[in-house]
Copies of this chain bind each other. A is one copy, B any other.
Amino acid sequence: MTNNIYINDLSKHVGEEVTLKGWIYNKRSSGKVKFLILRDGTGYLQCIVFKGNVSPEVFELADSLAQEASFEVTGTVKEEPRAVGGYELDATDVKLISESVDYPITPKEHGIEFLIDHRHLWLRSKKQVAIMKIRHRIAKAIRDFFDERGFTLFDPPIITPNASEGTSTLFEMEYFDLGKAYLTQSGQLYAEAGALALGKVYTFGPTFRAEKSKTRRHLTEFWMVEPEMAFYDLDDDMDLAEEFIEYIVQSVLKDRKAELEILERDISKLENIKRPFPRVSYDEAVKILHDNGIEFEWGNDLGAADETMISSKFDKPVMVHRYPAEIKAFYMKRDPENEKVALAVDVLAPEGYGEIIGGSQREDDYDTLVERIKEHNLPLDFFKWYLDLRKYGSVPHSGFGLGLERTVTWICGIEHVRETIPFPRMIYRNTP
């Protein structure tokens, strides 16, 4: 196995002579000393090339290395609290691996279209590396949370013969001789079959919406995690969502504080994300809007501005529950105490980041569900298998979906969801 030494291992090598490999992140010069900042994907290291310590050829090479040139550097590891990462390297040798002539992304400002055109290189920047590492930590927290709680991973199909919530925003394709198929918008209906087989399951994979939305919160391709639990009612569902969000945020704070600092995130706002979270009914949410002088008619869906107003009243995620049934999906169970509302919940992130979770208790009565499918003008025969779940040992069950990229956007405290995924797909872009 390769004996590569990485920057984040240097604490084990203080005083030793080591060789590292990577790229020039930055460099500066001060007479007889060249300072090369090495990046290797695990961190950044200042390498000091002192004229007296190396051959003239090496000193000249160190001077000539351009941004993003790949190189190998040998030297002694020193502790240096003032340096990035806490260590420095006293270089004794430098070798060029490959040049980098006129690297397109320079320290000057670039327009966003230019940066996304060069996404394959933009990913090398300190901020983008930090976002990718936080994304990874969040994905890991998501899996750990469910794995520790006895859930079974359940990968639903991506290619689906029908749409769970209408066909207007679906990517369509031909599937051999079987006619049209669509990219999944949600694995939920399949996860329900999983929950009735395995008790508690979660899906975690890419989902697709062919929405013609150009907002800073929309991607056409994004990752979603969707837990689904047999014998959970809406209250259980909200308890789990609350515990889940706390777990994700606290995991990132524990392991990725350095990356949050690179992004200049206000960490105190995240430290505050502890249970319990406020729970307000849709009725109460409407009252908040009215109390703040916003005209809003009962029965409408909350818009982005409404959500921002509601969440601004709290310093934690707020759980809005029991929405008008009319504006919610066909599979949501109605509240037995008020048939006008569905047992649904949306979780709104603080600081105006909007909805990150949508969930509900599912309709578990066969006849009622048949009626709902008809009311929504959906093709009954497509849902025959889904109805079977209410025919053979139906049970109360609930679940929710959390959008990964919106969660990363919020936790990173950045403006636009497009920076939270390696290669974003939007209405006007499917490259590189």
Contacts and interface: CB of A to CB of B under 8 A. Distances in A.
Nearest to A70: B393
A178 to B, nearest CB: 6
Contacts of A99: 393
B176 A427 contact: yes
A157 B240 CA distance: 30
A422 B190 contact: yes
Nearest to A230: B41
A364 B423 CA distance: 22
A373 to B, nearest CB: 15
13 contacts: A1-B240, A2-B236, A4-B231, A8-B150, A41-B195, A97-B394, A129-B197, A129-B198, A132-B152, A155-B421, A158-B158, A159-B208, A161-B431
Contact of A152 (B69, B136, B206, B239): B136
A199 B41 contact: yes
- The interface centre, meaning the residue of A136, A200, A221 with most chain B CB atoms within 10 A of its CB, is A136
Nearest to A136: B153
A391 B120 CA distance: 12
A182 to B, nearest CB: 10
Interface string A143-183: 10001001011111111110000000001111110100101
B98 A1 contact: no
Contacts of A100: 391-393
Interface of A: 1-2, 4, 6, 8, 21-24, 40-42, 68-70, 97-101, 103, 118-121, 123-124, 128-129, 132-133, 135-136, 139-140, 143, 147, 150, 152-161, 171-176, 178, 181, 183, 190, 193-200, 205-206, 208, 210, 212, 220-221, 223, 230-233, 236, 239-240, 243, 364, 385-386, 388-395, 421-423, 425, 427-432
A37 to B, nearest CB: 14
A115 to B, nearest CB: 13
A124 B197 contact: yes
Contacts of A385: 118-120, 431-432
Given A1-B243, A8-B150, A422-B156, A395 B428 contact: no
A395 B97 contact: yes
Nearest to A176: B427
Contacts of A154: 132, 422
A124 B431 CA distance: 42
Instruction: Please name the 7 residue pairs, one residue from A and one from B, whose CB atoms are nearest each other, closest first.
Output: A41-B199, A385-B432, A70-B393, A120-B193, A123-B197, A98-B394, A2-B236
Contact of A23 (B2, B160, B393): B393
B68 A120 contact: no
B155 A121 contact: no
Contacts of A233: 2
A200 B133 CA distance: 12
B152 A193 contact: no
A38 B283 CA distance: 41
B393 A68 contact: yes
Contacts of A157: 221, 422-423, 425, 430
Contacts of A208: 158-159
Contacts of A176: 210, 212, 427-428
A23 B40 CA distance: 53
A200 B2 CA distance: 13
A74 B429 CA distance: 57
B395 A231 contact: no
A95 to B, nearest CB: 12
Nearest to A171: B173
A40 B199 contact: yes
A156 B423 contact: yes
